[in-house]
Structure 1
């Protein structure tokens, strides 16, 4: 495992997630600052939106309007051209816990995950459904029985949805049909045996990796943030680990590829993901390191 010399793009935030490279800037959500921000390559920051319900996943409609997951009220928000926020969809009938990360396809369909249970309260793990939100705001169940569906990606041809399952030691894949519905779940990568039990105290020690946010590259591999391993992994389809980058004492919870040629790996780092700790200290940062293979697909 390598521990390269990282560059710090920004620091002093609460908990940064959902990194997206868009219009030559890095877009991010800070859960507990309750802001969506955009950061230029030199570290200049613009506040894009204030989201009282705690922002997470980000994506864009074909007309350029921003979609934002609002976690605690389980809504998908849409930023209008004047900067105001409107409710694009209510996810409460599908989401069994906080709404979380998502990916938006080129037709404007959003695939939105959720926790499935109250993670921060330490209650037993429950599986979650993945929501599909059509451009008109219609909400449907796209897939069921996922173990904390997290970072989601769409291949460059638009034919496959890839979903990190944080508590299942696996990355799953689904064929995307012409109408946006999904085929059956299949293993894209298996990182270890399926953990047994429902209590987090017994599930987490069985995790070989906890895939959180992720991004595809041009060779078809996935860079993922290992939420329990203080590392980013580059994983091939099937599960072979191609590269491993240590973040030392810092945890890493999301990543994306950006920069001029999409060959900069941006990592969302913080000491841990415990809500009470993250709300109490501005210890989150974005670290950057150059890689050989550029990003591809969505987001």
Structure 2
């Protein structure tokens, strides 16, 4: 379902009727996202025409990204697996993350070399090599959420939701993470999904504060888009990379997640952004 009515002073609705959206990615001219409540991967174009790309049959959380050769990776969070969709449509296990932790996994971002970074469990980040081997590369993350990699493939930025900050790591030659530092102290911000732009600024989605915020390194706020429900993730894309897609849902806590999903209050919102997409995802 599609509507163009304003949902805030800036954002327009591209798609509605989503059970619970997460993990948006601009890919091959459409916005792909994980609908946790419907257990589906969905793609929507700029006209609002949507298509179910995959029925996952997975409980939340699950997230997506692509290998450089175009094959889809899918984090099965509760199963602690990364699945891979082959070119012929078959789905196989890419990596068994239970060798690192069986406490569940959340977000994924793939670097330009095909290494996947995943987070979750007891506040950790793991790197998964192209052969599926995995190892822990960071810990003590205060509720890890969205991740992004800078265009030079040298820095990984992660949203620490409970830490109210964005944290950066250098990406080492072997895929390890080092030189941990606070990239931005968000004060009262609660970051979830994030993305990077060509001005080296980061957009972060914020559920409790019902907004998406653009910040530069150090924490200076450059722009805020306020909406009427929780913002779970955001992604830049579109023909020129300057459309900010916001995944938003009414939210009343995990105890009410099933009820919220049944109400299908999830939206994809669009806002014109001052700088284009950069880095990954």
TM-score range, shorter chain: over 0.9
Task: Report the Cα distance in structure 1 between the residues aligned to 2:271 and 2:249, rounded to whole angstroms.
Answer: 16
Which deviates more, 21-30 or 178-187?
178-187
> How far has the Cα of 1:3 moved from its partner?
4.1
Q: Any stretches of 5+ residues in structure 1 without a counterpart?
A: 117-126, 193-207
Q: Secondary structure at the match of 1:146?
A: coil
| 1:288 paired residue number | 270
Count of residues paired in the alignment: 271
Offset, 1:96: 5.8
> Following TM superposition, by how much is the alpha carbon of 1:265 offset from its aligned partner in structure 2, in angstroms?
0.6
- How far is 1:61 from its partner? 1.1
- Describe the superposition over 1:237-279 as per-residue Cα deviations: whole angstroms up to 9, x where unpaired: 011111111012x111100011001111100011115323323
Normalising to structure 1: TM-score of the pair? Answer: 0.87
Query: 1:154 matched to which residue of 2?
Result: 149
Which residue number in structure 1 is paired with residue 160 of structure 2? 165
* CA-CA distance at 1:220 after TM superposition: 0.5
| In structure 2, C-alpha distance between the alignment counterparts of 1:188 and 1:211, rounded to whole Å | 13
Q: What is the match of residue 9 of structure 1?
A: 14
Aligned mates of 2:146, 2:128 — CA distance in 1:
16
In 1, the alpha carbon distance for the partners of 2:82 and 2:154 equals 24
1:180-195 → structure 2 map (5 Å cutoff): 180-192=175-187
2:98 maps to 1:92 = yes
TM-score calculated relative to the size of structure 2: 0.92
Number of the residue aligned with 1:38: 43
Structure ranking higher in strand proportion: 2
For 2:23, the equivalent position in structure 1 comes to 18
Q: CA RMSD in A?
A: 1.6
Aligned counterpart, 1:227 = 207
For 1:244, the equivalent position in structure 2 comes to 224
Write the deviation string for residues 52-93 of structure 1: whole angstroms up to 9, x where unpaired: 223632111121101011122121110011112111111224
> Residue 260 of structure 2 aligns to a residue in which SS?
helix
Q: Corresponding residue for 1:277?
A: 259
Q: Which residue of 1 aligns with 2:190?
A: 210
Report the counterpart of residue 63 of structure 1 in structure 2: 69
Moved over 4 A (4+): none
Tell me the residue number matched to 1:27.
32
1:184 deviates by 3.2
- 8 Å Cα contact 1:102/1:150 also seen in 2: no
Question: Are the counterparts in 1 of residues 37 and 262 from structure 2 also a CA contact under 8 Å?
Answer: no
Separation in 2, partners of 1:221, 1:32: 31
In the alignment, what sits opposite 1:135?
130
